[in-house]
Amino acid sequence: MTLPILLFFVFAGIAVGGALSLIFAREPIHSALALILVMVALAVLYLLMGAGFISAVQIIVYAGAIMVLFVFVIMLLNAGVENRTQHSIMARWLGIPLAVFLIGDLAYWMARGAHALPLAERSGSLAAGPVSTQDLSLHLFQSYLFPFEITSILILIAVLGAVVLARREP
């Protein structure tokens, strides 16, 4: 067994274990910490696939920014131990069949290999194989510069919205 495969199994195990404890933890803050574990383990998996940029973004955005927000919300709402509800009927009767279907579907396509997916042949623009940060930045700052720039206006609109809706009346 080579090192990458060994690492894959270790971090895939951590991700699955983290996801399980996220669901089963009874205190919201424990769930949030478990989610960080999942995010970081996923970042390592991306790195193993050669997607360095995605991996870095995963840590910065998800494990960093978004999780801080989660923890803040939990703290501000002062959420304690969650109450167990009676399991909903929908979840009991549809949940397991749907989960089995999803796993079966994924397993089927994986067994047939990625080439069997009805996707078009990638034509040059985004080449097969690992995408380097340099390729990504070339796309972002040259061919897709315009959408990148108008995203900043979009964020400005969101900020304005927060100001308009949350400002206290004088």
Partner 1 sequence: MPLRADMMADLCRIAPELILCVFGILLVALEPFVPSSSKRALGWLAFSGSLVAIASLWIVARHPGPAYGGLIQVDNFSLFFHGIILGSVAVVILGSINYLCEERLQRGEYYALVLFAAAGMGVLAGAGELITSFLGLEMSSISTYILAAFRRDARKSNESALKYFILGSFATAFFLYGIAMTYGATGTTRFTGIAQALSISGPTLLAVLGLGMMLVGLGFKVVIAPFQIYAPDVYEGAPTPVTALLASAPKVAAFALMLRIFYVAFGPVQHIWFWAIWISAVLTMCAGNFAALLQTNVKRMLAYSSIAHAGYILVAFAASTELGIAAVLFYLAAYALMKIGAFTVITHVGGRGERHLELSDYAGLAKKQPAIAACFTLFLLSLLGLPATGGFMGKFYAFQAGLDSRIIWLVVIAALNSIVGAYYYLRVILTMYFREPAGESGPDAGLGSEIEWMPQPVAASIWVVLIIAALGTLYLGIFPSRVMEFALRSAASLR
Residue 133 in contact with residue 52, Cβ under 8 Å?
Answer: yes
Distance between start and end Cα atoms, the chain: 68
Tokens of 45: 């998996």
Tokens of 50: 């050669």
Work out how close the CB of 65 gets to partner 1 at its nearest, in angstroms, rounded to a whole number.
20
Decide if residue 50 touches partner 1 (CB under 8 A). Answer: no
Q: How far is it, in rounded angstroms, from Cα 89 to Cα 37?
A: 31
Work out how close the CB of 147 gets to partner 1 at its nearest, in angstroms, rounded to a whole number.
5
CB closer to partner 1, 24 vs 108: 108
Decide if residue 157 touches partner 1 (CB under 8 A). Answer: yes
Q: How far is it, in rounded angstroms, from Cα 63 to Cα 38?
A: 9
Using DSSP, state whether 121 is helix, strand or coil. Answer: coil
Total binding residues toward partner 1, as defined by CB under 8 A: 24
Using CB under 8 A, pick the residue from 23, 118, 128, 129 that binds partner 1.
118
Decide if residue 113 touches partner 1 (CB under 8 A). Answer: no
Binding region for partner 1 (CB under 8 A) out of 7-15, 57-65, 70-78, 116-124 = 116-124
C-beta atoms surrounding 36 within 10 Å? 20
Residue 55 in contact with residue 43, Cβ under 8 Å?
Answer: yes
CB closer to partner 1, 1 vs 163: 163
Q: What is the DSSP letter of 143?
A: I
Tokens of 165: 């809706």
Q: 132-151 mask for partner 1 (x: CB under 8 A)?
A: -----------xxxxx--xx
Work out how close the CB of 24 gets to partner 1 at its nearest, in angstroms, rounded to a whole number.
29
Q: Which residues bind partner 1 (CB under 8 A)?
A: 118-123, 125, 143-147, 150-151, 153-154, 156-158, 160-161, 163-165
